[in-house]
Structure 1
Amino acid sequence: MKTSIGGRAAQYVIAYLFMLVALYPIVLMIASSFKTNMEIFSNPLSLPSSFSFETYKKLWETVPFADFLWNSIFVSGVSVLLITVFSALAAFYLARFSFKWSGLLYFFFLIGLMIPIKLGIVPLFLLMKSLGLLGTLWSLILVYTASGIPIAVFILTGFFRTLPVELEEAARIDGCSHFQVFWRVLLPLIRPALATVVIINFISAWNDFFFPLIFIQKETLKTIPVGMMMLFGEYETDWSLLFAGLTLSALPMIVVFLLASRQFMEGLTAGAVK
């Protein structure tokens, strides 16, 4: 059924309105980072009177923001890499090989989606302490990897099962091993699912406040969500510094989403159109 010109125009208008609503807080945050505290309180919704990077320069001098930024990038990047590698291998095995405990093993991964990992904070704290990882970035990486694998396996297993078995049979006839079939044939075909896994887990690790607050005590090892708390004073807060920090902390997430957005959208709509 064809959509009329008026109906299509109305759809575009609604879409642009939603886009403006979504982008407005981001624009307001960036604009506020160039304002002084007085401007923020007197004209919170206006553009800054002048554009100067003094606030950003002051931010790097006030707190070790470079350390916060690097810690967040390292933790989120390594966690996503480990999640993607391990979950892709596990999902391929579950989707393509049938064995006695395959259903139970798949259900074991699904349990990770049902039980919040924060419920086990005390055992996790004691585990990291016994392993000598408490107060290190690797404690965060291991927790994020363990919490991110279940949803990644769930997504990737579904995508692997939609791929035709004939592709693997043709590859094996050509002499490919199981790993070569996985790496050269199937993995390039599930890029939308991989992009979905990367974006979901990167944002989750990047924005997490709870585990860095519990596991990290050293100031130079804090991630951005916890490090930004240093900008809140006991009696007053420099809001321009805070907005500058929020702007810089949002940039890596925006870059990751832009790089993987096309594959991400294909992953969300996969199967909707035949």
Structure 2
Amino acid sequence: MSISATAETQAQAGRRPDTLKNGAIQILLLINAFIMVYPLVVMVLSSFKTNAEIFTSPFALPASFSLANVDKVLAETNFVRYLANSVGVTSAAVLLILVFSTMAAYAIARYEFRFSSLVLMFFLSGMTVPLKLAIIPLFIQLDTLHLIDTYAGLVLVYVAMGIPSAIFIMTGFLRSLPREMEESARIDGASEWKVMTAIMLPLARPALVIVAIQNAVPIWNDFFFPLILINSDDHKTLPQGLTVFMGEFTTNWGVLFTGLSLAALPITLLYLVLSRQFIAGITQGAVK
């Protein structure tokens, strides 16, 4: 047997375990994708069904793709109002989280000062204790500030929840960026604000997208804090507002599934639009 044939045989033998490993990984990913997507498919299909269809054939296709449940959602509830409230609260909270966490992370990552590590640990300590454990003193404090049943009180709570993890992600990403570009900009006479906004932030766009998605999804889906802090129907967000379909004795499941499907649509579209930047941020080590 020639040397080239022997080398080819060894290469094929080395590739065989890798092929089996990759195949097993692909199978596991497909199973995981099925487990994650199938409940969503059932939810969407159930939104076209009546209560009788849901109980008799919960996993079958609907008899007809009627929009009667959509009409009930829009006509019998303040769904549009709940949707606008969720969009406003989520957008305001994510925007404030991005602004404050970026400025704090930039100072910690790009400037050298004596207590930088201590300041970072102070922010990271906010990730160790869930804010829900402090709901009683938090409620008392917001009530003293007259922020109960207001958008501002809800947004401030979400900002306080999101800033620690956002600073952690942004600091790790900004520390990985080379210093040569910002030093060149300073030599050319650029101000510190210009260096941050025109040079560093465009490079940190994948990390900003990660922070935005990581905070937008739980804020959009949150039910606990609106339940505690919001009283009036006009200020309710979608998760809290959709509970009107759950009666004490009966529940219109078709209409409820329709509301849930419509509520999941905006955040799903947001992820699809930003998915490329999200994946880029992960592969570049933004969460090291």
Give yes or no for the alignment of 1:175 onto 2:189.
yes
- State how far apart, in whole Å, the 2-side matches of 1:173 and 1:270 are: 28
After superposition, residues 109-258 of structure 1 pair within 5 angstroms as: 109-258=123-272
Q: Displacement, 1:52?
A: 1.1
Contact 2:210 2:278 in 1 (8 A): yes
Give yes or no for the alignment of 1:38 onto 2:52.
yes
**Secondary structure of the residue that 2:120 maps to in structure 1?**
helix
The residue number in structure 1 matching 2:109 is 95
Aligned length: 272
- State how far apart, in whole Å, the 1-side matches of 2:49 and 2:141 are: 46
User: 1:189-236: CA deviations, max 9, x gaps?
Assistant: 111111110011001111111111111100111111111111111110
Letter in 2 for 1:157: T
Contact 2:149 2:232 in 1 (8 A): yes
- State how far apart, in whole Å, the 1-side matches of 2:15 and 2:91 are: 45
Superposition RMSD in Å: 1.7
- State how far apart, in whole Å, the 1-side matches of 2:87 and 2:236 are: 12
Query: TM-score, length-normalised on structure 2?
Result: 0.90
After superposition, residues 48-87 of structure 1 pair within 5 angstroms as: 48-87=62-101
Letter in 2 for 1:253: I
Where structure 2 has 5 or more consecutive residues not aligned to the other structure, the ranges are 1-13
Contact 2:173 2:285 in 1 (8 A): no
Q: Displacement, 1:100?
A: 2.3
Distance 1:77 1:10, change over 3 A: same
Q: Displacement, 1:6?
A: 6.5
User: 1:157-190: CA deviations, max 9, x gaps?
Assistant: 0000001111111111222111111111111111
Give yes or no for the alignment of 1:23 onto 2:29.
no
- State how far apart, in whole Å, the 2-side matches of 1:130 and 1:204 are: 27
- State how far apart, in whole Å, the 1-side matches of 2:252 and 2:117 are: 54
**Secondary structure of the residue that 2:83 maps to in structure 1?**
helix
- State how far apart, in whole Å, the 1-side matches of 2:192 and 2:273 are: 30
| Between 5-14 and 61-70, the greater mean CA deviation after superposition | 5-14
- State how far apart, in whole Å, the 1-side matches of 2:33 and 2:149 are: 41
Q: Displacement, 1:150?
A: 0.5
- State how far apart, in whole Å, the 2-side matches of 1:218 and 1:5 are: 59
Give runs of ≥4 in structure 1 deviating > 4 Å. Answer: 1-14
- State how far apart, in whole Å, the 2-side matches of 1:234 and 1:207 are: 23
Percent identity between the two aligned chains: 46
**Secondary structure of the residue that 1:132 maps to in structure 2?**
coil
Where structure 1 has 5 or more consecutive residues not aligned to the other structure, the ranges are none
The residue number in structure 1 matching 2:280 is 266
Compare CA radii of gyration and give the structure with the larger one. Answer: 2
Letter in 2 for 1:267: G
Q: Displacement, 1:124?
A: 1.5
Letter in 2 for 1:184: A
Q: Displacement, 1:44?
A: 0.4
**Secondary structure of the residue that 1:122 maps to in structure 2?**
helix
Letter in 2 for 1:111: S
- State how far apart, in whole Å, the 2-side matches of 1:68 and 1:143 are: 19
Query: TM-score, length-normalised on structure 1?
Result: 0.94
